[in-house]
A and B are shown apart, each in its own frame.
Chain A
């Protein structure tokens, strides 16, 4: 289903939950609504579902306005955060509910249940009650129940929040695969950026009721459009006076410019590990943490603290050691603008032509 939202606003009392949100979603896409808790993601989802009505703005499905349409008639599947399974019904009865309400013939219902039980890997669990299932199984029942009436849009509210970390991973790729196979337009809400980046075709970053940026995970990661997105995605260090860092002096020329530096923008090592020492700063290692697959290194350059990763293959560094630090790039912003800048000194100042 093609979904379009124009100028959406919603207040709860004094609290502006959603302000002026606009977006379009193409058919068959899997969209992740990502943002901090209480940022308005769930409110947007609930308005799409019709469970909440917008104060102003339009919601269009296939170009048709559906604001006045009750949730029953929107043809949407909804997976709730805690699944909201009917606890007095078996798995099969839960799945059948939406079909019975729509008065499907008995034989067809039976067929559809069998199909969905197969699809979600719940064969043999049809007669169980929700309290007899594990978290992951409940999640899949909720998914099957939402899909049963063949909705054109699937909405998922924090679908993995209540599941242990280990199964969550498995379930994520299962869901991705399932949605690919069905080709159904889907929107899911999450506050976990790994989840959004791993699963979604497109991510919408929502903060304080506003849509900060919409784009593919790669675009969001590499080209953040607002300081919030830059600081929210990945781990980053805010540097108040970016001019202090070697290679970013130009930036200081513009007053009030601040910078965000991600660990993967930073390289740290001994003098012999760098080709261009002139581009590096000298700093002191303040802490190192073993992270299994790599070292997490904290270095201090003057009063700036940066974090970065270092391969286990390289010689180990020690706290207190003097090291060289190369900052490849930084995300810069001031009150009016934001942009990504490469380290100016990284390019050899005196290229030697052979």
Chain B
């Protein structure tokens, strides 16, 4: 912006190229998929969506993602708390391991869970004796979702706990509050924004998960077929319109969540 006179054309061309790349790579595909699903008009979109299998896949995904998110809220809050508040041997190692699910390829995750829960694995054998079927049934999908979304809640709660002043907690104790009361009245409200935004990100990721789920779900239409696998199936069977319809539904949901997370964070900053 300084030696404008000498390199005006250069820098103008450069900027445009970068911005064009941005728009073409990100905006165009998203517009494309909305365009595709609306191209044949509303009736066709409704028709595509009213396919029973499509509906069942979306509902199943939402149901399982909610369960996985709830599990993650519980264990994530606890793990985040323990990793920040307590000093114990191995803390650093555990803290580094939190990011593992982000680093591991999802297909590898799927394979790992499949081996672990399969009939040859310890858990699988135990479950079989107890008469519960895990692999290729809903529990396996939940496990896969919990695994891939494990870091979200922890990583969202940790900074809040770190910046929280110990004196708030101490003040509550000096006023005679019990440990449980202090936790629910002082600590939990402080962690809540982190738990919420972490949970929403985890939910959004669980909705979208494909790699880890496709290998363990069994993919029986109407029973263990989740939305992303349904979309994949529609693409494979050369029905892009059907795939696009469900995609748009899923995408809109994810965008809403993303917007909500941004909104929650902006409100926190505004305080």
A13 within 8 A of B: no
Contacts of A336 in B (CB 8 A): none
In the complex, chain B residues whose CB is within 8 Å of the CB of A71: 2
A68 interfacial by beta-carbon distance below 8 Å: yes
Q: Does B5 contact A (CB under 8 A)?
A: yes
Within 8 A of B (CB), among A60-110: 68, 70-72
CB of A68 within 8 A of CB of B3, answer: no
Q: In the complex, A72 Cα to B6 Cα: how many Å?
A: 13
Interface digits, A16-57 against B, CB 8 Å rule (1 contact, 0 not)? 000000000000000000000000000000000000000000
Interface centre among A68, A70, A71, A72, by most chain B C-beta atoms within 10 angstroms, is: A70
Report chain A residues within 8 Å CB of B5. 68, 70
B10 CB to nearest A CB, Å:
15
A76 to chain B, nearest CB (A): 14
How long is the Cα–Cα vector from A72 to B3 in the complex, in angstroms?
Answer: 9
How far is it, in angstroms, between the C-alpha of A350 and the C-alpha of B3 when the chains are bound? 75
Specify which chain A residues have a CB less than 8 angstroms from the CB of B3 in the assembled complex: 70, 72
Residue among B2, B3, B4, B5 with the most chain A CB within 10 A?
B2
Task: Digitize B55-66: 1 where CB-to-A-CB distance is under 8 Å, 0 elsewhere.
Answer: 000000000000
Give the A-B pair count, Cβ closer than 8 A: 8
Tell me the minimal C-beta distance from A71 to chain B in angstroms. Answer: 7
Residue of A nearest to B2 (CB): A70
What is the minimal beta-carbon distance from A321 to any residue of chain B, in angstroms?
49
Which residues of chain A have C-beta atoms less than 8 A from B4's C-beta?
Answer: 70
Residues of B contacting A68 in the complex (Cβ-Cβ under 8 angstroms): 5
Give the docked Cα–Cα distance between A138 and B214 (Å). Answer: 59
Taking CB atoms, residues of chain A closer than 8 Å to B2 are 70-72
By a CB distance below 8 angstroms, the chain B residues around A72 are 2-3
Alpha-carbon gap, A72 to B2, bound state (A) = 8
A71 to B3, CA, bound (A): 9
A70 / chain B contacts, CB cutoff of 8 Å: 2-5
Complex alpha-carbon distance, A70 and B7, angstroms: 13
In the complex formed, the residue of B with least CB distance to A70 is: B2
In the complex, which residue of chain A has the Cβ closest to the Cβ of B6? A70
Question: Chain B 5-17, CB within 8 Å of chain A: the 1/0 string?
Answer: 1000000000000
Which B1-58 residues have a C-beta within 8 angstroms of A? 2-5
CA distance in complex: A68, B2 (Å): 10
Expressed in whole angstroms, the Cα–Cα distance for A70 and B4 within the complex equals 8
Q: Give A1 Cβ to nearest chain B Cβ, in Å.
A: 21
What's the Cα separation between A238 and B5 when bound, in Å? 52
Bound-complex Cα distance A71 to B4 (A): 12
Minimum CB–CB distance for B39 against chain A, Å: 41
Query: What is the bound-complex CA distance between A64 and B271, given in angstroms?
Result: 51
Q: Measured between C-beta atoms, what is the minimum distance from B156 to chain A in Å?
A: 30
How far apart are B6's CB and chain A's nearest CB, in angstroms? 9
CA distance A140 to B5 in the complex (A): 35
Whole-angstrom distance between the alpha carbons of A338 and B4 in the complex? 47
In the complex, residue of chain A having the shortest beta-carbon distance to the beta carbon of B4: A70
A144–B4 Cα gap in the complex (Å)? Answer: 29
Report the bound CA distance from A61 to B2 in whole Å: 19
Q: In this complex, what residue of A is CB-closest to B3?
A: A70
Q: List 8 A-B contacts (CB under 8 A).
A: A68-B5, A70-B2, A70-B3, A70-B4, A70-B5, A71-B2, A72-B2, A72-B3
Which residues from chain B sit less than 8 Å from chain A, CB to CB?
2-5
Other contacts beyond A71-B2, A72-B3: 6, CB < 8 A: A68-B5, A70-B2, A70-B3, A70-B4, A70-B5, A72-B2
Q: Give the 6 A-B CB pairs with smallest separation, nearest first.
A: A70-B2, A70-B3, A72-B2, A71-B2, A68-B5, A72-B3
